[in-house]
């Protein structure tokens, strides 16, 4: 079959990485005349930092773009009937593109929204369960990083029950560990009670 050879899969992975490299936070900030999120606020090119720098509209656009970067390449790979292991590689490639974007000096975000997009493409119930966990924790704590961390830890547990292929279960574990690593400074601040949150309206 066409997609069982390595070259087509490599092409899919390269394309996914290039799509993932479209740093939404930076592009949105430039389009709206906002400070570069890598140089202001928390210095993280993600939706939470853009929210603080530019408000809800900019943050919503950033969140949507980051989510679609994860969802669309993986969904396309599934629709093209790539083997499950190849879909997992495509998902990893778009995730790495977000974390280490080719176009922006390999300085990307922490991967939460892009991971959510990937999970939704891999398994809608898995993605929705992870999103519901984030929303529930945020409703109680009003701390975005804490919500992301708990949802990230929960995702592999959900995957164990909702996914069958070992390659996809392994993918979720790898993504979760990488997201946790990218949040290590947030974890330190949470442990010391120094992590900021959002006030209730």
- Give the pLDDT confidence of 38-81 residue by residue, as tens digits: 888 778 888 888 888 888 899 999 999 999 999 999 999 999 98
* pTM (2 d.p.): 0.91
Please give the pLDDT value at position 2.
42
- Please say whether the beta carbons of 125 and 131 come within 8 A: no
Please give the pLDDT value at position 6.
62
In a domain, 95, yes or no: yes
In a domain, 109, yes or no: yes
Domains in the chain, number = 1
Distance CA 146, CA 148 (A): 5
Q: How sure is the predictor about 4, in pLDDT bands with cuts at 50, 70 and 90? A: very low
In a domain, 196, yes or no: no
Q: Which two tokens stand for residue 51?
A: 């929210």
In the predicted structure, residue 31 carries a pLDDT above the cut 80: yes
Q: Is residue 31 exposed (0-12), middle (13-18) or buried (19+ Cβ within 10 Å)?
A: exposed
Helix (H) or strand (E) holding 175: helix 166-182
In the predicted structure, residue 1 carries a pLDDT above the cut 50: no
What distances in angstroms separate CA 43 from CA 38, 40, 53, 56, 79, one per listed residue? 4, 5, 11, 18, 36
In a domain, 197, yes or no: no
* Structural domain containing residue 186: 2-191
In a domain, 44, yes or no: yes
- Tell me what the mean pLDDT of segment 117-133 comes to: 97
């Amino acid at each position: 079959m066409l997609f069982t050879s390595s070259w087509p899969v490599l092409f899919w992975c390269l394309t996914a990485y290039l799509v993932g490299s479209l740093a939404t936070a930076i592009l949105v900030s430039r389009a709206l005349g906002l400070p570069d999120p890598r140089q202001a606020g928390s210095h993280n090119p993600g939706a939470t930092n853009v929210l603080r720098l530019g408000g809800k509209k900019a943050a919503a656009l950033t969140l949507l773009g980051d989510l679609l970067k994860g969802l669309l390449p993986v969904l396309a790979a599934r629709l093209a009937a790539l083997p499950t292991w190849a879909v997992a590689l495509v998902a990893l490639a778009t995730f790495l593109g977000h974390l280490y974007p080719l176009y922006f000096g390999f300085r990307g975000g922490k991967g939460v929204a892009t991971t959510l997009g990937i999970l939704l493409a891999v398994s809608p119930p898995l993605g929705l369960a992870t999103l519901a966990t984030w929303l529930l924790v945020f409703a109680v704590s009003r701390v975005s990083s804490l919500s992301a961390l708990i949802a990230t830890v929960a995702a592999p547990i959900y995957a164990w029950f909702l996914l069958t292929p070992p390659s996809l279960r392994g993918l979720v574990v790898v993504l979760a560990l990488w997201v946790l690593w990218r949040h290590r400074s947030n974890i330190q601040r949470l442990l010391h009670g120094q992590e900021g949150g959002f006030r209730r309206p």
